[in-house]
Amino acid sequence: MEFMTDPMGIETRSMEIIAPYLKNLNLNEEAIKVYSRMIHAAGDVEYSSVIRIHPQAIEMAKNALKKGCNIYTDVEMVRTGINKKKLASFGGMVECLIASPEVAKTAKTEGITRSMAAMRQFGEKLDGAIVAIGNAPTALYEVLHLMETTSIRPAVIIGIPVGFVGAAESKEQLMKRSLVPYITVAGTKGGSPIAVSVVNAIMYILDNKR
């Protein structure tokens, strides 16, 4: 059995396969790159119909990265997947508090999820930063709550929790209530690899323009 072994060749061919699913969506060049990376990460061309990108989201994320913003995540899988070397080249770092003993204590005391407690602990650090959520709907709800009750305004929210309990609803609320630009996926699809793909795609777009 013959199969491709060249990494660049595999990636190029993957993008060629994805391209026809995007041609009728009226996307600009940068949106095409983000869509393509998301679809590639999922291995699912059906994503082309459920990805939702706020008109200002990519530009806001690029501007924040150029200023050296940090990225705050809900789970270690997102933190691990983000290209930290490239992020550091812009002056930023990525942080996740899900394993923090203090967060665990707060979650238990207040009867909330650790993801919610982590977002509360980040607090004002989220202002001007990129929030990347790939797993927990409750984390997304907490960020929306923080924006509505404080002056905290992330530069952009990449909110792509996955699953059958609360995920679709949290993303719907993101699109309805967010006070800042967002990138999300309607419905139950999503997950950490998809959130990671968005962050890395935007960094690559920016890196290629330096």
Mean pLDDT, each 10-residue run in order, the chain (210 residues):
65 89 94 96 95 98 97 97 97 97 96 97 98 97 98 98 96 98 98 98 84
DSSP letter for 164, please: S
**CB of 52 closer than 8 Å to CB of 175:** yes
Catalytic-residue membership of 54: no
Catalytic-role residue among 40, 54, 120, 171: 40
Per-residue pLDDT tens digits for 102-127: 999 999 999 999 999 999 999 999 99
Phi, psi values for residue 207, rounded to 5°: -60, -35
Instruction: Please check whether residue 191 is in contact with residue 205, taking contact to mean a CB–CB distance below 8 angstroms.
Output: no
Amino acid at 101: P
Q: Output DSSP code: residue 21.
A: G
